[in-house]
Amino acid sequence: MSPAPEPVASELIELLSLERLEDDLFRGQSRDIGTKYVFGGQVLGQALSAAQATMDPASGRLSHSLHAYFLRAGDIDAPIVYNVDRTRDGGSFSVRRVTAIQHGKVIFFCAASFQADEPGAEHQATMPETPMPEDVPPTQVSPEALAKLPPKIQRWMSRSGPFEFRRVHPRDELNPARQPPFQQVWFRLGEPVGDAPELHRALLAYASDFHLLGTATFPHGISYYQPGVQMASLDHALWFHRPFRADEWLLYSIDSPSAQNSRGLAHGQIFDRTGRLVASTMQEGLIRVTPPTGK
C-alpha cells in the first residue's frame, strides 16, 4: 500500500484562513516553500481572503477582479498584517482596498471588486487544442540535475506542493532552449475541498502566480533557476469570469506579448476541462540578468 499523501491542501487552506484582529484588520502567516522570499501567490490569496471576509454574505457578491502591486519582498519568518479599506458598497458593486504590512512597511496593496450574479451578454475565447490532463505526465527533475542546485531551489523543484501541475510541453528549466513565449499547463488542487466559491477564488489567486512570468523568459533561453537571473513580480491582475473548482483540472494557457527594459509581460487564460473560460490573468515582472564575474 502506498503512503497517504501529505495534507498539503489543508495546510494551504489554513494559510489562507487569516486571523481576524479587528473588523477590517487581519494577520496571516507565511510558509517556506523553497523561495527566497514570501511567494507572491500567497500574498495574493491572503489579500483576497481578507477582502472577502469584509463582504456581507447576504449580498451574494463575489470577487470578479483583483489588481495588485508588489512593492517589497516579503519576509518568510514574519507574519503579514492585512488592512482592508471598505472603499465602496454601491447598488451593484463593492470595492475593497487591501494593504499588506510587514515590519511597519507596506509590501503589497491591491483593489478587489465584487458583484452579485447578473444576467447579460456573454461570449468567450476558445480553449486551445491540447491533450487532456490524463494524457500529460507529471514533470519531474532528475536527482542528478537537482544535486547541482542550491538547497532552497532543490526544495522548490522537488516539493510536493498543494497543486499538481502538468506542462503540456515540458521545458528543461536548468538548461532551457530558446522557444516562442507560449505554454499550456494543467493544474488542480491535490485534494478535494469544500464548495465555498470564496475559497476556490482565493486558491486560484494563489495558483495564478505559478508559471506566468516565466513564460516571458522562453525566447531568451534563461530561467529563474539559473545563477545570475533575478525575477520578481511587479504587478498582477486577475479576473474571474465563470464558476469553477480549484480542485478540478484547469488549463492555464499563457503567452508573453512583450519583454523590455528588464521587465516581462505575461497574459494567461484559465479554462476548465469542458472549455469554459473561467478566469484571465496579466502580470508584469522584473527579469534581470547579471553577467558572470571572474573567470
Other CB atoms within a 10 A radius of the CB of residue 237 amount to 16
Phi-psi region of 80 (alpha: psi -120 to 50; beta: other; left: phi over 0): beta
Considering the candidates 49, 63, 113, 283, report the single residue annotated as catalytic. Answer: 283
Q: Catalytic residue at 209? A: yes
Catalytic residue, chosen from 209, 269, 272, 280, is 209
Residue 283 known to be catalytic: yes
Place of cell 464558476: 243
Give the closest residue to 14 by CA, choosing from 160, 157, 202, 156.
Answer: 202
Burial class (CB in 10 A: 0-12, 13-18, 19+), 185: buried
Residue 53, CA atoms < 13 Å, CB-side half-sphere: 24
CA of 117: how far to CAs of 23, 62, 90, 114, 280, in Å?
A: 26, 8, 15, 10, 18
Non-local CB neighbours of 10 within 8 Å, separated by 6+ positions: 191
DSSP 8-state secondary structure symbol assigned to residue 123: -
From the candidates 65, 233, 253, 256, give the one annotated as an active-site residue: 233
3-state SS, 193-255, equals CCCCHHHHHHHHHHHCCCCCHHHHHHHHCCCCCCCCEEEEEEEEEEEECCCCCCCCCEEEEEE
CA geometry: angle at 175 spanning 169 and 176, to 5°? 45
Residue 29 annotated as catalytic = no
Active-site residue set: 209, 233, 283
